[in-house]
Amino acid sequence: MNFGLLLRKYKKIFIFLFTLIISLPVGAAWISRTEVAEADRGLRFYAFDVGQGDSSLFVLPDGKTILIDAGPEDAGKSLLKELKRIGIKKIDLLVATHPHSDHIGGMKRVLSNFQIGKIWDSGFISSSPIQKNFYNMIQKKNIPFGRPKRGYSEKIGGALVEVLAPARLIRGTKRDANNNCLVLNIKYGSTNFLMLADMEREQLSTVRPLPRAAVLKASHHGSSNGTNMSLLKEVRPYVIILSYGKNNSYGYPHKEVVRAVSASGIKRLDTKDGTIRIVSDGEKISYPQSREVVKNGG
């Protein structure tokens, strides 16, 4: 059987295959246009799975970006991969909430791979070698640097970034680094994203009253020293993000926190199973319902 005969016999199949091959790149282009259109009309928030640590990204309505913390050093490579997958080329504001290694360990890789607009730091000096290297790199690259305090706010990319803490220097607690965290509220339209970093009880008393927020990034990986029923009643979030690593040695999230979240009827999303993406149109948020933790376990 020659090719002409084959073509006539299987004409419909050839036409179907030809149409499929032609339509694949067109379909891909349509998907990427949809992504861009989505960015144009709202704010995108990502909470990354960096193992036992913390790192979150905001892609603001005009495309500007805010990266809050960079997870531990050993997660730096996967964080970089995620940022590139999302299409991040520049970080307009890089925030170091406090100098613990599970929050700033990945900064070296971020600073080496992205153009950084400016950096906000808690200003709490722990004398950590990782913090020293971080400061050295900032100095070397001559990146604009600030230590904003409670009361400062700035409009960035169509959103308002409010600094809720530090209000004052706190000393003599069990974990001073946690109690001098940079705590932010990212406001877009009527939706608030409250980013509590690793704030503990002592610092909490300096930042009250807390605003109501649609999304609450829980403090200190779901530790009971950062989240309790009274805080949840005050913030009344629709969604809470718990950032912690699978099988971590610390037992995060704590049972008390899990119970309080469940009793409050708040939707819970955990980073241990992968990146969480939430979109706000300025009035309401949408989140991956398939990632909702419905059980009372960790």
Binding site for another protein (CB under 8 A): 72-74, 100-102, 105, 126-130, 133, 174-177, 223, 249-251
> Whole-number minimum distance, CB 129 to another protein, in Å?
4
Choice between 4 and 129, CB closer to another protein: 129
Choice between 18 and 250, CB closer to another protein: 250
Choice between 73 and 154, CB closer to another protein: 73
> Whole-number minimum distance, CB 30 to another protein, in Å?
44
Choice between 111 and 235, CB closer to another protein: 111
Choice between 101 and 206, CB closer to another protein: 101
> Whole-number minimum distance, CB 176 to another protein, in Å?
7
> Whole-number minimum distance, CB 71 to another protein, in Å?
12
User: Across the beta sheet with 267-270, what order do the strands follow?
Assistant: 153-156, 159-165, 183-188, 191-195, 215-217, 239-242, 267-270
Q: For residue 165, what are the β-bridge partners?
A: 183
> Whole-number minimum distance, CB 177 to another protein, in Å?
6
Q: Which two tokens mark 215?
A: 């999304």
d(CA 79, CA 103): 12
Helices in the chain by DSSP H: which ranges? 3-9, 11-41, 76-86, 101-104, 107-113, 129-141, 201-207, 229-235, 255-264
- 6 three-state secondary structure: helix
> Whole-number minimum distance, CB 112 to another protein, in Å?
16
CA-CA-CA-CA dihedral for 32, 36, 39, 41, to nearest 10: -120
Choice between 73 and 234, CB closer to another protein: 73
Query: What number of H helices and E strands is found in the chain?
Result: 9, 15
d(CA 45, CA 280): 8
